Amino acid sequence: MTEWPDPPRLVVVDDDTELRPVFEVPSETLYALIDRNRDYLGEFLDFATPEYALEHAVRYADQSRENWGRKGEQAYAIVHRRRPAGTIGMHRYGSRNRAVEIGYWLDAGLQGSGIMTRSVAKLTEVAFEQLGVNQVNISADVANGRSRAVAERVGFRFDGVTRQWLLNAKGKLADMARYSLLRTEWEENRT
C-alpha cells in the first residue's frame, strides 16, 4: 500500500472525549490553553517558548489544514467534554516502511484521568486499522515520566534513547526515549 487513505475527521475516544482536526478548534481557544500550560509544556516540548503567541497558534492551524492527510500527517485537538484539552498528532517517521510517530500533550489540570492513554490507544488503532501503517513510534523526553508512562501503558516497547535530540522551550538539549509498536505486535495483542 503506497497511498495514504484520508484520515478520519472525527475520532471518538470515549463518551467524554473526541479528536477533531486542530484547525476546527478556534485558535484563540487553543492558544489560551497553551498559554495556561506554557511553563509546564516548555519543560519537555520545543514550541511553548516565552514568545509563543496567538499568531503562532493561527499559523499552526493553517499548516495543519494544508498538511492534513498528506503522507500520514494529521494534527488533532483533544476535545474533552466539549473543551479543547490538548493536542495529539501524527506524522511520518523515517523515509520508508510506512512508519508514523505520534506526539501529544494534555492540559496539566486534566492529567491522571487516563484521557491521554485512551487517546493514544485510539489513534494507534486508527493508524493500524484505517491508515495501514507498519509501525507507530512515540518519543518523549527521558525525564518526562508521565509521557513515557502513556506509551508504556498502551503497550509500546522501549527501543532506546536518542541523545541531545530536542531543543526544548527552556533551551535545554534533551535526550529522547523512543518507543515503537509494530503491526505484528498490535495484531497479536488484539487476539
Partner 1 sequence: MPEQIRVDDEILLQRSFDTPAEVVHELVHQNLEHLGRFLAWARPDYDVEGVRAFQQAGRERWNESGEHGYSIFYRDEYAGAIGMRGFDSPVGAASIGYWLSAHLQGNGIMTRSVSALIRLGFETYDLNQVIIRAAPANGRSRAIPERLGFVETGIERQMAKNVKGEFLDLVIYSLLRSEWQG
CB of 121 to partner 1, least distance (A): 20
CB of 188 to partner 1, least distance (A): 15
CB distance 90 to 126 below 8 Å = no
CB of 158 to partner 1, least distance (A): 8
Q: Kindly tell me which of 29 and 164 has the beta carbon lying closer to partner 1.
A: 164
CB distance 28 to 77 below 8 Å = no
Helices (H) and strands (E) in the chain, counts: 5, 8
Q: Between the CA atoms of 81, 83, 86 and 88, what dihedral angle is there, to the nearest 10 degrees?
A: 70
CB of 20 to partner 1, least distance (A): 29
Q: Kindly tell me which of 58 and 166 has the beta carbon lying closer to partner 1.
A: 166
Q: Kindly tell me which of 117 and 162 has the beta carbon lying closer to partner 1.
A: 162
CB distance 74 to 21 below 8 Å = yes
Q: Kindly tell me which of 53 and 161 has the beta carbon lying closer to partner 1.
A: 161
Phi, psi of 158 (to 5 degrees): -75, 120
Q: Which residues bind partner 1 (CB under 8 A)?
A: 94, 96-97, 99, 134-135, 157, 159-167, 173, 178, 180, 182
